[in-house]
């Protein structure tokens, strides 16, 4: 299944975080109904990490898989080459605020600065402003729609990789909860997360999943 969200281009007004599900596309060939491969997105928060993000990028590159990275602004300095490699490899780069703050607990102007400061950091490296935002803790206050025309990207599979630091536990959660259209939440700041992510990529590929960037699961 594919998550559907409405996207308003930057500078053009409000955004919405409403979502619903639509059936996977299908075509008829003769008497057979052929369905698209199920899709899922691996997404990584809190990076870039100087050691573990390059290890993850190497593993994804070897597998021909593109993922989504939501970067924290304060973690970018000194790791510009890692961000450039993300872009070169075709990954989607998004915003995860500057200091990993819970946006609905800040005054609107401070919340906006957290987002815009990180957008500028990413732009200086990639030449592109990110269109997608992963709000820390999933907190997306409506008043931000007045100053930020970005699309919040949530998740339906939380691996809790930051908590368990256990490869088998993370794999088990994904195996149990993943479905067509799933957006999987992980982090690229722990060695166990990188190991688990690559194992999950192999597992889902073997099961017939097409692993895509998160924007491919959003219909605009």
Distance CA 215, CA 167 (A): 27
Q: Name the active-site residue from 49, 91, 96, 187.
A: 187
CB contact set of 23 (below 8 Å; sequence gap of 6+): 1
In a domain, 182, yes or no: yes
User: Is 215 known to be catalytic?
Assistant: no
In a domain, 23, yes or no: no
In a domain, 34, yes or no: no
Distance CA 169, CA 164 (A): 7
List the domain range (segments joined by +) for residue 126. 2-18+42-217
In a domain, 200, yes or no: yes
Distances (CA, A) of 121 to 101, 114, 115, 127: 17, 11, 10, 10
In a domain, 32, yes or no: no
Distance CA 86, CA 201 (A): 17
Residue 9 scores a pLDDT above 90: no
DSSP secondary structure letter of residue 181: T
Question: What does the pLDDT look like over 156-199, one tens digit per residue?
Answer: 999 999 999 999 999 999 999 999 999 999 999 999 999 999 99
Share of the chain above pLDDT 70, in %: 83
Domain tally for the chain? 1
DSSP run (H or E) holding 196: helix 191-206
Q: Name the active-site residue from 17, 45, 49, 104.
A: 45
Counting every residue written for the chain, the total comes to: 220
* Residue 149 confidence (pLDDT): 87
In a domain, 65, yes or no: yes
Angle CA 193–195–200, to nearest 5: 90
In a domain, 48, yes or no: yes
**CATH at 67:** 3.20.20.370
Question: What does the pLDDT look like over 49-91, one tens digit per residue?
Answer: 999 999 999 999 999 999 999 999 999 999 999 999 999 999 9
In a domain, 36, yes or no: no
Residue 96 scores a pLDDT above 80: yes
Q: Strand, coil or helix: what is 51?
A: coil
* Residue 144 confidence (pLDDT): 83
User: Is 96 known to be catalytic?
Assistant: no
């Amino acid at each position: 299944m594919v998550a559907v969200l409405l996207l308003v281009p930057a500078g053009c007004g409000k955004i919405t975080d409403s979502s619903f599900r639509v059936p996977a596309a299908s075509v008829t060939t003769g008497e057979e109904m052929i369905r698209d491969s199920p899709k899922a997105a691996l997404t990584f928060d809190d990076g870039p990490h100087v050691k573990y993000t390059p290890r993850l990028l190497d593993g994804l590159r070897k597998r021909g898989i593109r993922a989504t990275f939501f970067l924290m602004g304060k973690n970018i300095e000194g790791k510009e080459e890692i961000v450039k490699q993300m872009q070169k490899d075709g990954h989607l780069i998004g915003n995860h605020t500057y200091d990993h703050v819970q946006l609905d607990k800040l005054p609107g102007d401070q919340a906006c600065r957290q987002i815009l400061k990180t957008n500028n950091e990413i732009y200086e490296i990639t030449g592109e402003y990110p269109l997608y935002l992963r709000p820390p803790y999933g907190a997306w206050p409506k008043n931000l729609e007045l100053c930020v025309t970005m699309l919040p990207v949530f998740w339906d599979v939380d691996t809790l990789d930051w908590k368990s630091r256990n490869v088998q536990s993370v794999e088990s959660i994904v195996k149990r909860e993943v479905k067509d259209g799933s957006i999987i939440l992980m982090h690229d700041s722990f060695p166990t997360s990188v190991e688990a992510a690559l194992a999950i990529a192999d597992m889902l590929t073997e099961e017939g999943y097409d692993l895509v960037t998160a924007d491919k699961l959003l219909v605009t």
